[in-house]
Structure 1
Amino acid sequence: MMSVVYPGTFDPPHLGHLDIVKRSCALFDKVVVAIAKSPRKHLLFDLEERLDMFRVMVEDLGTKVEVKGFEGLLVDFMQREGIKVIVRGVRLFTDFEYELQIALNNNKLAGVETIFMMPSQEYIHISSTIVRDIASYCGKLEGLVHPYVAKKIREKFGCL
């Protein structure tokens, strides 16, 4: 069985992330969404909230997707899971430059391979940063995030 890890902080998860997961499900037997605790980042949502939102987003995909949290190096998580392939979404050339550096280091550290996947055209403009910015002004989130995620974001910003 061929599995892949889709890692990130996903703060918050959005429809571009979901697109990558769905398309990865067509290529792999199992997709493990690995959500980093990332204590050094100033995150809007804590790990449990991000796990909850992502689990709701993928519940219709059944057992093909598993959502797990981790702390520390991704390659250590992957070794514990017995997975040797990472999938990463890249939107722009600047994303690719950054992701390539990480991919090369992950390969050198643990021999893992990284597959880069572009989001579908209708989601390529979405980023968690943009979602947070729009939400901070109580802006419209439809078409950017899953309805459950939109509800959680509105609650966080007091936009009810």
Structure 2
Amino acid sequence: MVERVALYPGTFDPITNGHLDVIGRAARLVDRLVVGVAMNAGKGPLFPLEERAELVRAEMEPIARRSGCRIEVRPFTGLLVHFARELGAQMIVRGLRAVTDFDYEFQMAGMNARLAPDIEAVYLMASERNHFISSRFVKEIAQLGGDISSFVPPLTLERTLARVRRPAAG
């Protein structure tokens, strides 16, 4: 029997409860789930790549235990489908929150299908309690002094608040 391997890619800057929801649900569908933490310097990340990967790793053990899935966290750069092939992934998992996500993901799925027709795109709708959460909004709320405790796990909350409260260099 072939091992079912999926890749769930993202910037995870920072990881949110919405991400964790999708990871938990994806883990029930496969034997091995790789959470790929993308470099994506163009987004101007709050956290460096390795720290984002560390924060994601900190949350995976309970999900793996509940689901019985092997979950790995791996930083990556480069083309998503190349990384998926390197992992032996048969599918790329993405979360959808709103129509705007669908529009972007529809275009991405078409491009990836042309580049790697053997890798399926699988979409999981965000749960009702998480459909509005985005890393971008979490960072903005934190930077403006708002309460983000219901949007992120505790370690991420602590690190995000420490990062946004640092005095500016200069």
TM-score normalised over the length of structure 2: 0.89
User: 2-side partners of 1:145 and 1:137: how far apart?
Assistant: 16
- Alignment-derived partner of residue 94 in structure 1: 100
Q: 1:58, CA displacement in angstroms?
A: 1.4
Q: Deviations over 1:80-131 (max 9, x none)?
A: 1111201100100110010111111111101221011111111111001110
Is the 8 Å Cα contact of residues 70 and 77 (structure 1) preserved in structure 2?
yes
Is the 8 Å Cα contact of residues 138 and 157 (structure 1) preserved in structure 2?
no
- Alignment-derived partner of residue 46 in structure 1: 48
- 1:62-77 paired onto structure 2 within 5 Å: 62=64, 64-77=70-83
- 1:77-92 paired onto structure 2 within 5 Å: 77-92=83-98
Is the 8 Å Cα contact of residues 16 and 123 (structure 1) preserved in structure 2?
yes
TM-score normalised over the length of structure 1: 0.95
- Alignment-derived partner of residue 22 in structure 1: 24
Aligned residues: 159
Q: Deviations over 1:66-86 (max 9, x none)?
A: 110100001111111111201
- Alignment-derived partner of residue 157 in structure 1: 164
Question: Sequence identity, in percent?
Answer: 39
Name structure 1 gaps, 5 residues minimum. Answer: none
Q: Which runs of 4+ in 1 moved over 4 A?
A: none
More helix by share: 1
- C-alpha RMSD over aligned residues: 1.2
2:11 to 9, 23, 38: 9
2:133 to 120, 126, 131: 126
Confirm or deny that 1:135 pairs with 2:142. yes
Q: 1:39, CA displacement in angstroms?
A: 2.5
Name structure 2 gaps, 5 residues minimum. Answer: none
Is the 8 Å Cα contact of residues 85 and 113 (structure 1) preserved in structure 2?
yes
